[in-house]
Amino acid sequence: MSVRSLAERRYLPVLAIVVLIATAPLFFHSLFYYRIGALVFIFALAVVGLNLLMGFAGQVSLGHAGFLGIGAYAVAIGPTFFGLPPWASLIIGGVLSGVVAFAVGRPILQLRGHYLAVATLGFGVLISIVLTNEAEWTGGPDGMNVPHLVLFGWTVRGADVWYWLTGATFIGGFVLAGNMVDSPTGRALQAIHDSEIAARILGVDVASKKLTIFIISAVYASVAGSYLALFNGLVTPEVAGFLRSIELVAMVVLGGMGSVVGALVGAAVLVVLPQALTVFHEYEQALLGLIIMVFMIFLRRGIVPSLAATLSGWRR
């Protein structure tokens, strides 16, 4: 592979996204758009991680919002009960998610296909139940307040500031994921996705690679969850719920499994679409379901891979 094509593959997509993020605000009419943008980047960050697990390693997780919840509540519980600053709680949340992922992943990653799906589902439901019931620690179903994030003495508030912060973090996560995909670990993961048995025969340590990527995807989700809680100033147990997990999976699949750029597209579609559909009032839900179905039938590999394949077909 020549240096030039390596540069093209790795750095130009990043540059394109940086340009996109930097120029999009020119079209923003109000703070509302900044909020939407920040939410897109927050979910895209979680989706990048989940995509590594589902798209590259081929492991389904229907409970990933559980890690979102751990990160979100870490920045609520840390300052409230332990007096820790939010940025430290964010890091602790990430570490905690990693540890939980390690503990839970060891036993359940040996399951395959739908059984793994149900095990991860159970995990997500468990976290959600604990968050709802342990009201002394978590504030129960109505949730608890989260203080403002303070970085180097400067309080982060305002949708526009959050837009830039989450955008920058997303780019960081994006680059990291891209590097991982191109590394030997990434190639090992793709081998596992294609055929676990063949990969094992070739000497790939399947169990530890799967666990590694599970932990990494958990940390991505945790950071995203912390950001969400800090941005909203409030955290409620729905952040870890079953519907939230399904939403994350939908973002991965819609954007394109195995496409890191697809994470941004998938998140953008599912954050922006409900806002765009409010004009339809009563029909909002039905239309959302219809659009998801149509997207999956006609762009079945996800938006980014399908469109890319179509466009490259035209080129010829």
234 binds other proteins (CB under 8 A): yes
Query: Is residue 153 within 8 Å of residue 91, measured between CB atoms?
Result: no
276 binds other proteins (CB under 8 A): yes
Residue whose CB is less far from other proteins, 28 or 87: 28
Give the range of 83-91, 167-175, 203-211, 284-292 binding other proteins by CB under 8 A: 284-292
* Exposure of 7 in the CB half-sphere (CA atoms within 13 A): 3
Residue whose CB is less far from other proteins, 152 or 281: 281
Give the range of 7-15, 86-94, 169-177, 179-187 binding other proteins by CB under 8 A: 7-15
Query: Is residue 240 within 8 Å of residue 25, measured between CB atoms?
Result: no
Give the range of 77-85, 171-179, 209-217, 270-278 binding other proteins by CB under 8 A: 270-278
In Å, how far are 14, 148, 163 from 157, measured between CA atoms? 27, 7, 10
27 binds other proteins (CB under 8 A): yes
Task: Compute the Cα dihedral for 311, 303, 114, 62 and give only its sign.
Answer: positive
How many residues contact other proteins, by CB under 8 A? 103
Kindly identify the residues of this chain, within the stretch 72-101, that bind other proteins according to CB under 8 A.
none
Kindly identify the residues of this chain, within the stretch 192-231, that bind other proteins according to CB under 8 A.
195-198, 201, 228
Helix locations, the chain, DSSP H? 3-23, 31-51, 65-82, 86-108, 113-133, 135-138, 159-182, 184-194, 196-201, 206-232, 242-255, 260-276, 284-298, 303-315
103 binds other proteins (CB under 8 A): no
Kindly identify the residues of this chain, within the stretch 287-306, that bind other proteins according to CB under 8 A.
287-293, 295-297, 300-301, 303-304
Give the range of 110-118, 171-179, 182-190, 209-217 binding other proteins by CB under 8 A: 110-118
Place of tokens 């943008």: 37
Question: What is the spatial distance between Cα 266 and Cα 38, in angstroms, rounded to a whole number?
Answer: 14
Site string for other proteins, 117-146 (x = CB under 8 A): xxx-xxx-xx--xx-xx-x----xxxx-x-
Task: Compute the Cα dihedral for 90, 272, 307, 297 and give only its sign.
Answer: positive
| Residue 288 β-bridge partners | none
CB of 216 to other proteins, least distance (A): 20
Instruction: Dig out the tokens for 227 from the structure.
Output: 């950001």
Residue whose CB is less far from other proteins, 92 or 254: 254
CB of 220 to other proteins, least distance (A): 19
Secondary element (H or E) of residue 145:
strand 144-145
Nearest to 49 by CA among 164, 178, 166, 163: 178
Coil, strand or helix: which one is 235? strand
26 binds other proteins (CB under 8 A): no
Kindly identify the residues of this chain, within the stretch 42-71, that bind other proteins according to CB under 8 A.
54, 60
Q: What are phi and psi of 301, to 5 degrees?
A: -95, 5
Kindly identify the residues of this chain, within the stretch 159-198, that bind other proteins according to CB under 8 A.
159, 195-198
